[in-house]
Every structure is written in C-alpha cells, then in structure tokens.
Amino acid sequence: MAAAAILREALPSLDEPIVTYLDRYIYDAGEDPTVDVMEDVVRPMLESAVICEPSDSPKRLALPTLFEKLGAIVAERAPKKSVESQRGLARLDKVVDMSTSEISSTITYDAGNDSMDLALGRSTRNRTTVDIKKLEKQEAKTRAKLAKRAQRDLYESSKLVENAKKMASYEEMYMQVNPLESISSGAAKGKNKDIHLPNIDVSFGSHRILTNAELTMAYGRRYGLIGRNGVGKSTLLRHMALRDVPIPTNVSLLYVEQEITGDDTSAIEAVLKADVWREKLLAEERRLNFELQQLEDATHAAVAAADQNKDDGTEGLSKGSAVDLPTRQRENQRDELLSRLGDVQAKLVDMEAETGPSRAATLLNGLGIVGDDQNKPTKAFSGGWRMRLALARALFCKPDLLMLDEPSNMLDLNAIAWLEDYLVKEWEGTLLVVSHDRAFLNQVSTDIVHMHSERLDYYKGNFDQFYETRDERRRNQLREYEANKQKREHLQAFIDRWRYNAARAAQAQSRIKELERLPVLEMPEKESGEHFTLPETDKISPPLLQLDNVTFGYSEDKILLRNVNFDVTLDSRIALIGSNGAGKSTLIKLLINQLSPLSGDAKRNPRLRIGYFSQHHIDQLDLTQSPVAFLASRFPGRTEQEYLAVSLLFAYYFIAASSRFSMSGSAFFFHLSHITVVFSCVRAPLCLLL
C-alpha cells in the first residue's frame, strides 16, 4: 500500500498537501542516505499534526502503528549496500615496502598507480573510471534534494500559524499552555517565578531570530521589548506563548494580540470566560452538586420505599442484605463525589473565583466599558473597544507572565492612561510588552530588552534611559575597538619589521604571543534609519473632501455627528482625536462616501484618488495571495514586472525578507499593516486616510 493511502486511512483529517508532501518524501527515501527520513521528517510532521489532540485520542494512539508501517516502506525504498561497500578494510595481497614503492613509482606510471592502490588497501582489479552520465544524474538528485529541503523549511516556517489554526479554541490553547497545576496548586505558587534561559535559539522556518541568546526576566519586573520591524519580536512572544521556548511550567502565561473576535457573547461574559480553568471548575462544581442531589433523591426514595414495605408487613432493608447493596453503592459514590467537590472548591477559593464578576466589572469600568455596555455582545464593539476587551480578559486571568503586543494601538488617551496606571500600581506579575509608543514605555517599563543581531541586550530603566545607556555603551565599545585595533596594528608592524632579524627575533616572538592573547573585537554595529519616498502626484483644484452641515447617526435617536463642517485641501495635515466610539471612523467613512449623511452634503472631488487604511485593515487583504497577485487583482492592466517592482520597492522599506512574497506566512505575524499601507499608496493617492 502506498504511503499516501496509509496516511489517509490512519489520519483522515490530515491536510492533503501534507499527505502529498510526505508521500513524495517517503517515495524518494533512497536519494539521500545521510537523511533519516522517519526521524528527521515524517515523525516530527505527524506529531505536530496531532499536537492539539488529547493523549488518549484515536489519532494519537494510531501513531505508533502508523510509524511502523511507514518505516517499513522507507526501509524498502532505502538503497541496499553492495558487497564491496560491506567489505570494509581489506588485507593486502603482499607486503608493501614504501622505499621500494617510491623508487618503482619513478620507473613507470602504471606501477606507481598499482603501488598506491595497494597501499590504500584497494585492489587494482576493482579500479573504475568516472561515469559522466551517472555524475550528472547524481547532481540532479542533489538539486532535487535541496529543493525538497527548502520546501520542508517553508512548511516549518508556517508551523506556528498552522498550530494556531489547529487550536480548536482559545480555551484549548489556554489549557494546553497553562496546566491547572500552574494556576492553582500551592506548590506552584511557592516556587520561584523568575525566568532564566541561557543559550536559546528561535527560528521561523529557515530564518534565524535568536542564536545562543539569554532570556532573563525577574518576577514582578516590567520589560519593554524593542527592536526594528521584522526582527522577530512578535514571533518570540508567540514561541513563548506556545512554550516552544521552554518557560518553566510553574509559570502561567498569557499572550495578548490586537483584538478579540466579536460574537454574541456579552462583554462581561467574555472577560469571565477568559479564565478557562475558573469556568471549567465552576462547571464541574455544578455537575458534582447536581449528581449529589440526584444521589440524595435516590436515597430518600429508597428509604421511603423501605418504610412503605415495612408498613405493608414486608420486612424492610436489613443491614448487609443483597437488597441493601444499591444503597451502599450510592453511599460510596457520594463519598467520592464529596471528596472531588472539596478539591474543586479548594481550587476555586485559591483562584478567588467568587470575586470574578466584581473584578471583571471593575476592569471593564476602568477601560471605559460601563453600565449596560458590559452586557452588549462583543460583535457590537468597534476595534478600539475590542482591544479593551482583550486587555480586560488578560488582566482578569492574572498570569505570572503577561505578554502584550502593541497594547496602546487603537486605545484613546484616557484608556492608555488607565492602562499605564494599572500596570504600574496594580500588576504584580511579570510583564513583557512590545510597543512603539515611547511615552507608554517610559511610564510602564522598569527594564528594556533590545532585540537585534539575533541576540537580546538588557538595560535597566525606561525607554529614555535605554537610549542614553545604549549610546554611552556604544561609545565605550567604539573606544575599546579603536584601542584594540591600534594595538594590534602596532604589534603586527613590529612583528613584520623584526621577525627575521636575529637580534630582535626574541622580541618579535614575544610580540607574536602577545598578539595571539589579544582578543579580537568586532566593530560596534550602527543602526541605520529607514527612509522612503511617497509617489509623486499631480495637482487638482480644491476642495478635495468637504462636509457641509452634515448630521449622521446609525439611528435617529443616537446622533454621532451634528451640523459638521469639514474641509480637506492639498496641504492639509489633520490629526483626528477623540474617545473610542465618538465617531472618528464614521467621519472618515462619510468623507469617502461609504456612509450617507442623514442631512447635509458630503462632497468629493471626482479626480481625487484616495488611499484608505481602515480600522480593520487586515480585512482588505486576501491572505491566500502573494503581494504580486493581490496587486494584480486590485489594480489590473499592468505587467507582472510592474507589480513585482512595486512589491519589491515597498518591501525594501517595510517588509522583512522572509515575508516579502507571502501573506500567509511570516507576513501574517509581522507586517500585515505595512502591506496594507503599501497597497494604499500604489495608485499615488492625493489623499491618505489612515
């Protein structure tokens, strides 16, 4: 049976591209004897495919048998060793005298070759010449093998994305990365919560992010993680969140990205459900109480039946009789349920489950979601409010390590101020935050972690102190480098001048030893800034966009904008501020005619080209397409070379090399926003709305 058929039979839900890929890899198992196909390729991919399944699931239980069947196919495909290759070392037919062989080799060419063959243990009878056709065939196989390895790297590079997709829900991921013991056990709470991981390596496919880096975080400190776009900050957080980086299991952790997905769940319920173990334990407590009540009712019914039989003249239940067996079983079951209920309630008390609703309401109030809004479905909230919900969910869970990725994005000034105050005064655990907001980092951070050149550098203090310390450290490193360089040059000049002088030979040797002991320092790296130029545009007559006495509301009883007058000209640079829900995005949609006013006029110059970066900008992208294909679908009529040139131009400034041509791979993690900005600028817009 072919490998593909075996895979489909054992794992029916396995993605077809993976089935095809493994089938071809197993079929070509004999091409590269240096690669252990089962251990290096097949086993890791299949184990990662079922990583989210419970340990006792049929898919996991089927793996050993599946490995055995596939291993048999691999062994059958592997090349058989020839008799010559198994022969190993051979006994020489005669003793070789090297002195005579040296002499005889000058007599005739053939004799010299025979002697060399004998000395190396090779028989002249087995001498062969190079077959050019076989060599070309082997080179073709080598190229195919390298291409296949590149394909495997591509698979590995999307593993984090695929693992996230395979997680059936947030609840499943939360329970996997945070075992119950790390949340509520007394032993876990008594352990050291510091994190110290020396020599860690983090990769995203073939792209190395960290090499022999040291990850160190003291419990209770607040770390700001900074670095250039594309360096791998968000990827590092994802590796940590999935425990691909070996965070100690007694440290609970939670990673918060941009916003939650809206559904019919109310805001306060969404916050309460974020603490998955609390919800699970509360559900188990309700189930145990229900089963205990059923047992109690069954016992009362049995006693009533026994009393009725006694009144009717029938002998009641006698202690130890066969009829009394169900009663004793119910008593044993009741004792087991009570014991389990005690354990569950102890864990609920330990995690302060009873205060959950009040804590959730307090967090939502602090983030500006008050009153009846707490009972609104999450799908009714805009992007900024969903970001607040995501933050409230994370703060409610109180993990030992909280990781935030750009938490100040889409928050208004009041919400940012509240979050800064809460993290500084109320947060007790460790915080690791990625942010480009310098003011936020200055207020929150006690330490800065600078991610660059595949390493992590640590600085005490906030962002401003980091800049001062880094500049001073760089100046010191530069001075040390220059002094080291001058000394090496001085020593080398002395050595070159006096090495062959008999009178100075001893001094030259001393300088050579001193030069060998002198450390080789590298030139301190200097980060260069990014510069880009927007496309040139033509001029048009004003006004570009205009609102004239515009009134708008999504319902007549809730007006957002009333009698608004607004003009946009060619030289306008307008910053639109206001609290979330005040109508900022609504105003922009009125300007570009995506919404119609209830009264008044919204005018737009017919020659105006607009680049629009929306609040939910990722929805503008087709994540199954490359940037070139997406450009062709949005702006038809150009050649492929033109689309490629535009993609490369903006990719150079914004997008990491590993994400230039794929939106479903690392671009999904790093630069969806950057790609959307690129596409907003492709047509040389006269007006950018961001």
The verdict on residue 475 lying in a domain is yes
Q: What tokens were used for 559? A: 């007006």
Top mean pLDDT of 438-452, 561-575, 597-611 is at 438-452
The verdict on residue 486 lying in a domain is yes
Q: What is the DSSP letter of 618?
A: G
Same structural domain for residues 291 and 207? no
Same structural domain for residues 241 and 282? no
**Measured in Å, how far apart are the chain's first and last C-alpha atoms?**
57
**More reliable by pLDDT, 260 or 42:** 42
648-681: pLDDT as tens digits: 555 544 443 334 334 433 334 345 556 556 666 6
| Mean pLDDT taken over the chain | 75
Same structural domain for residues 440 and 422? yes
Closest by CA to 274, choosing from 289, 291, 256, 298, is: 256
Q: Which burial class, exposed, middle or buried, applies to 172 when counting CB atoms under 10 A from its CB (0-12, 13-18, 19+)?
A: middle
The verdict on residue 171 lying in a domain is no
Stretch 346-352: mean pLDDT = 81
Q: Which residues contact 123 (CB under 8 A, 6 or more apart)?
A: 90, 93, 117
Closest by CA to 210, choosing from 432, 452, 524, is: 452
Confidence of residue 398 (pLDDT cuts 50, 70, 90): confident
Confidence of residue 32 (pLDDT cuts 50, 70, 90): low
Same structural domain for residues 56 and 195? no
The verdict on residue 170 lying in a domain is no
How far apart are the C-alpha atoms of 576 and 591, rounded to whole Å?
A: 13
Same structural domain for residues 473 and 434? no
How far apart are the C-alpha atoms of 257 and 255, rounded to whole Å?
A: 7
The last residue of a domain, from among 461, 483, 502 = 461
Least-confidence region, from 63-67, 160-164, 254-258: 160-164
Whether residue 286 contacts residue 353, with contact meaning beta carbons closer than 8 Å, is answered with: no
Stretch 281-291: mean pLDDT = 87
Q: Which H or E run includes 484?
A: helix 463-498
The predicted pLDDT at position 186 comes to: 47
Amino acid 146 reads: L
583-640: pLDDT as tens digits: 888 898 899 888 999 999 999 888 888 877 776 555 555 656 666 776 677 667 777 6
Same structural domain for residues 586 and 676? yes
pLDDT above 60 for 301: yes
The verdict on residue 14 lying in a domain is yes
pLDDT above 80 for 363: yes
Q: Which burial class, exposed, middle or buried, applies to 225 when counting CB atoms under 10 A from its CB (0-12, 13-18, 19+)?
A: buried
**More reliable by pLDDT, 534 or 196:** 196
Phi/psi of residue 588, nearest 5 degrees = -65, -40
Amino acid 168 reads: A
The predicted pLDDT at position 30 comes to: 56
The verdict on residue 288 lying in a domain is yes
The verdict on residue 109 lying in a domain is yes
The predicted pLDDT at position 215 comes to: 93
The predicted pLDDT at position 620 comes to: 57
pLDDT above 50 for 193: yes
The predicted pLDDT at position 554 comes to: 85
> Alpha helix locations (H) across 314-458?
325-350, 356-366, 383-397, 413-425, 438-444
Note if the bond before 597 is cis, omega within 30 degrees.
no
- Name the 3-class secondary structure at 530: coil
Beta bridge partners of 296: none
pTM exceeds 0.75, yes or no: no
How far apart are the C-alpha atoms of 392 and 419, rounded to whole Å?
A: 10
Q: Which residues contact 242 (CB under 8 A, 6 or more apart)?
A: 160, 163, 173, 177
Top mean pLDDT of 8-22, 138-152, 600-614 is at 600-614
pLDDT above 50 for 313: yes
Whether residue 223 contacts residue 433, with contact meaning beta carbons closer than 8 Å, is answered with: yes
Q: How large is the greatest C-alpha to C-alpha distance in the chain, in angstroms?
A: 130
Percent of the chain with pLDDT strictly greater than 70: 67
Q: Strand locations in 160-317, DSSP E?
A: 195-204, 207-217, 222-226, 253-256
Amino acid 43 reads: R
Same structural domain for residues 188 and 331? no
Q: What tokens were used for 534? A: 């927007």
Top mean pLDDT of 6-15, 22-31, 623-632 is at 6-15
Q: Are strands 253-256 and 222-226 parallel, antiparallel or unpaired?
A: unpaired
Cα 352 to Cα 341, 399, 423, distances in angstroms: 16, 14, 20
Same structural domain for residues 203 and 337? no
**More reliable by pLDDT, 591 or 33:** 591
CATH of the domain at 197: 3.40.50.300
515-561: pLDDT as tens digits: 888 888 888 777 666 666 666 777 888 888 999 999 998 888 888 89
The position carrying tokens 């066969």 is 322
Same structural domain for residues 102 and 237? no
Confidence of residue 440 (pLDDT cuts 50, 70, 90): very high
Same structural domain for residues 18 and 139? yes
Q: What tokens were used for 252? A: 């609970």
Helix, strand, coil proportions of the chain in percent (round to 5)?
55, 15, 35
Q: What tokens were used for 230? A: 């594309």
Same structural domain for residues 575 and 643? yes
* Helical axes 3-10 vs 63-77, angle rounded to 10°: 180
Percent of the chain with pLDDT strictly greater than 90: 13
Whether residue 628 contacts residue 644, with contact meaning beta carbons closer than 8 Å, is answered with: yes
Q: What tokens were used for 341? A: 């209920």
Least-confidence region, from 34-48, 209-223, 480-494: 34-48
**Domain region containing 7:** 3-80+133-157
Q: Which burial class, exposed, middle or buried, applies to 32 when counting CB atoms under 10 A from its CB (0-12, 13-18, 19+)?
A: middle
222-271: pLDDT as tens digits: 999 999 877 889 889 988 988 888 888 888 888 886 567 777 888 888 88
Q: Are strands 687-689 and 610-612 parallel, antiparallel or unpaired?
A: parallel
**More reliable by pLDDT, 480 or 326:** 480
How far apart are the C-alpha atoms of 480 and 184, rounded to whole Å?
A: 51
Least-confidence region, from 114-118, 497-501, 505-509: 114-118
Same structural domain for residues 440 and 306? no
The verdict on residue 271 lying in a domain is no
Beta bridge partners of 448: 224, 459
The predicted pLDDT at position 618 comes to: 55
pLDDT above 60 for 156: no
Q: Are strands 455-460 and 447-452 parallel, antiparallel or unpaired?
A: antiparallel
pLDDT above 50 for 109: no
How many structural domains does the chain have? 6
- Name the 3-class secondary structure at 207: strand
